[in-house]
Amino acid sequence: MPAKRTITVVGGGVIGLTTAYALIQAGHGVTLVERDDHVGEQASFGNGGQLSYRYVRPLADAGVPLEALSWMLRADSPISLKLRLDWHQWRWLTDFLRACNARTNRNNTARLLKLALRGQQALHQWRQEGLDDFLWRRPGKLVVYRNAHKFSKSAKAVSNPQQEQVLTPAECARVEPAFAGLAPALAGGIFSPDDEVADCYLFCQALLKSLQKSENFHLVKGAATLEDDGAGQCRVRINGTPQQTDVIVLAAGLASRAMAQPLGLNLPLYGLKGYSLTVEADPAVLPDVSVTDYDNRVVYARLGQRLRIAAMVDIGALDASLDPRRITSLKRLAEETLPAAGPYSSAATWAGMRPATPTGVPLVGRTQWRNLLLNVGHGALGFTLSGGSALTIQDLVEGMQS
């Protein structure tokens, strides 16, 4: 069957792949452009594995700037900030500070929740249609709080007690016995029974495998560049060669910022560097429920017979190279929190640059160029928001005039 439209999706991470998948499902022809040798090997590779559909509150919130000052004085701080003589960093930080108020946080949380829940429905549908082999489970997610004030604030924000259950420390231990040793140090927790886990990298591979079954899909390895054609549209070149395409979707993560600059489009994206450990362990000692240690900003997710531990936000990092101090800190915290799952000395380590907007809300929509759409800026929620973002792009393409 001939494709309805020809679409070039730039970027082969989880955002680009889900976008391509949704468009192929809708009957379009898709060329996916990826500069690396394989898809899903940047920010999508070693993320926390949590599909946190209910817990999508942005980092920017009231009180965060003061809290960040205390973090900066700690060697093992969950968030670090290295200021640079970089106009883009200062602009991003200024916009971030403007978003650090309760009203903006509530509005942005509502927008993210809508996108996340649509993504959950999309993944459910895709799995029913046969998309598999990425270690998906629905064990629920438990967010534990050590600080009583932070716990009280989060508990008051719960709007649906069936979907987000406020728990005592003893109840937290019953929900996930592997973390029972933490109970004396906890103020409480919030359990979301419908949240899920999966391996994001394997999800990318499953998407690619399914896409390659379609005659309307093509994967191209190469460097994509964008330019204004002078007639209100955008032109894409792959390795310098202009491409004939009806629509372009920019979904190249942090690289999208540099790619958009020749158009005069300054995307408010900044790389928030995160880290993870992956350990092989006896299934008997692994937690079943996905757990977030809120005060330390660490997530624990069981992926098959492995445990993924992800944490840290480095603002101002220049690249995705591993910082030995951060890895050592993460290993020490994991050893203190869940010692039975070790030894952590042999854990596989990873770092990635997660492309974030100051508000935490991704840019998913139209631009001033009639044929150019954006799907960027998902930060640490890329996996969670990928399906909803992909369907939003699908809607926009369907609404375009021929």
pLDDT of 68 above 80: no
The per-residue pLDDT for range 170-224, each reduced to its tens digit, is 999 999 999 999 999 999 999 999 999 999 999 999 999 999 999 999 999 999 9
Can you list the positions of beta strands (E) in 12-138? Answer: 29-34, 50-51, 79-81
Confidence of residue 283 (pLDDT cuts 50, 70, 90): confident
- State the average pLDDT for the chain: 94
Pair 271, 317: CB distance under 8 Å: yes
The per-residue pLDDT for range 344-368, each reduced to its tens digit, is 999 999 999 999 999 999 999 999 9
- Backbone φ, ψ for residue 399 (5° rounding): -85, -5
Closest CA to 249 of 220, 224, 269: 224
Q: Which helix (H) or strand (E) holds 154?
A: helix 148-156
Planar angle of CA 255, 257, 260, nearest 5 degrees: 110
Other beta carbons within 10 angstroms of residue 346's beta carbon come to 9
pLDDT of 399 above 80: yes
Which is it for strands 141-145 and 188-192: parallel, antiparallel or unpaired? antiparallel
DSSP state of 262: G
Sorted by sequence, the CB contacts under 8 Å of residue 157 that are 6+ apart come out as 57
Sorted by sequence, the CB contacts under 8 Å of residue 309 that are 6+ apart come out as 276, 277, 278, 279, 298, 299, 300, 330, 334, 347
Domain 6-140+194-399 of CATH type 3.50.50.60 = yes
What is the rounded distance in angstroms from the CA atom of residue 129 to the CA atom of residue 73?
50
At residue 183, the 3 state secondary structure works out as helix
Omega into 343 within 30° of 0, i.e. cis?
yes
At residue 141, the 3 state secondary structure works out as strand
- Backbone φ, ψ for residue 11 (5° rounding): 120, 125
pLDDT of residue 262: 96
Confidence of residue 89 (pLDDT cuts 50, 70, 90): very high
Residue bearing the bigger pLDDT, 381 or 79: 381
* Four-residue CA torsion sign, 254, 260, 262, 266: negative
